[in-house]
Amino acid sequence: MGKSKRTFNNKSKKTKIILGTFAMLFIVIFILYKNTNKMQYKDIKLPDSELGINEEMVTKEDERNITNILLLGVDNEEDASDSIMVLSINKDKSSLKLTSIMRDSYIFFGDDKVNKLNYAYHYGGPELSVKTINENYDLDIRDYVKVDFNGLDNIIDGLGGIEMDITSEELPIINGLKKGGKQTLNGAQAVIYSRIRKVGNNDYGRTDRQRKVMQEILRKLNSVPVTQYRKLISSLSEYVETSISTTELVGMASKSSGFKNSRMEELRIPLDGTHKDEYINNLFYLKWNKEKNVQGIHDFIYGE
């Protein structure tokens, strides 16, 4: 796919925030390896062809020096990925981009299987999730970081809670809150907040809330003093799994200082106006225009 200017304009595309957390994120993950060896490491170093990566994408990756990492928030009770995001790291420009992909997107899995995107994890774990996203969106993802949502409350509690701006519609759903507005949520409250679906714009609203929770977790990571590392590591380790090796993590952490005050851009896929709600066998799906969304995600990640 050739290079093109970003001409579309939707409100979910360019919500820019100041984010000084990239270095801290990888340093914390590295510390988990070095000091505890508790975090789960899973090698998926497969040939590009087995990860659904085509040669055109390898060329584009080499030209732009961009690394894409899949971030999965997994609900082990449902055995599916509840949150699906792609973190794009541009090492030349020291820039970060975060793409959220709707979990109910109608996706082709190969072998004539069609289902919701989040069930790629159900059928084949992180490996199939990586391959499915690469094949459907023409991306070049080789690694992932997975967080167990059943432990997300412990992670957030280990950070001392996170600050969220609660609307009057969201308020009755979150236990223990008496008023709306900006306030600190504990782990259990933050998990409930991230999963609210029947307020506002249904799954679109939930995707936005999950992204806000992720942003706030990253922000809090940046403010954790060294004296609290051990406690934080204890709360994180058993709930995080990654395919990124220790050597790779060291390299990322050592090169990440340039991202300290970088701005993160965000995109939600499918793009506004490129999809429709549809029920198939009484199940809800998002049917989306592949050409427009593949072009959109490529313009966002690889565009100028």
Does residue 134 fall inside a structural domain? yes
Lowest mean pLDDT among 96-100, 228-232, 256-260: 256-260
pLDDT bracket for residue 37 (50, 70, 90): low
140: number of CA atoms within 13 Å, CB side?
19
**Could you give the CA distance from residue 99 to residue 102 in angstroms, rounded to a whole number?**
10
Does residue 28 fall inside a structural domain? yes
Does residue 191 fall inside a structural domain? no
Q: How remote is the C-alpha of 147 from its chain's centroid?
A: 10
**Total number of domains in the chain:** 1
Model pLDDT for residues 240-296, shown as the tens digit of each residue: 788 887 677 666 656 655 565 566 788 999 999 999 998 988 888 999 999 999 999
Does residue 100 fall inside a structural domain? yes
Q: 35 in the Ramachandran plot: left (φ > 0), alpha (ψ -120 to 50) or beta? A: alpha
Report strand pairing: 66-75 vs 143-148.
parallel
Model pLDDT for residues 6-30, shown as the tens digit of each residue: 232 333 333 333 233 444 455 455 5
pLDDT bracket for residue 33 (50, 70, 90): low
**Could you give the CA distance from residue 76 to residue 68 in angstroms, rounded to a whole number?**
24
Does residue 117 fall inside a structural domain? yes
Q: 212 in the Ramachandran plot: left (φ > 0), alpha (ψ -120 to 50) or beta? A: alpha
Q: What is the mean pLDDT of residues 145-150?
A: 80
Q: What is the mean pLDDT of residues 82-109?
A: 85
Does residue 92 fall inside a structural domain? yes
Does residue 246 fall inside a structural domain? yes
Q: Which helix (H) or strand (E) holds 236?
A: helix 229-236
Look at residue 190 in the predicted model and tell me its pLDDT.
93
Look at residue 235 in the predicted model and tell me its pLDDT.
64
Model pLDDT for residues 54-93, shown as the tens digit of each residue: 777 777 666 778 889 998 888 766 677 878 989 888 888 8
Q: Higher model confidence: residue 269 or residue 199?
A: 269
Report percent pLDDT > 90 for the chain.
Answer: 26
Where do the H-state alpha helices sit in 142-228? 152-158, 187-195, 202-223
State which residues form the domain around 74.
17-149+238-302
CATH of the domain at 89: 3.30.420.590
Does residue 53 fall inside a structural domain? yes
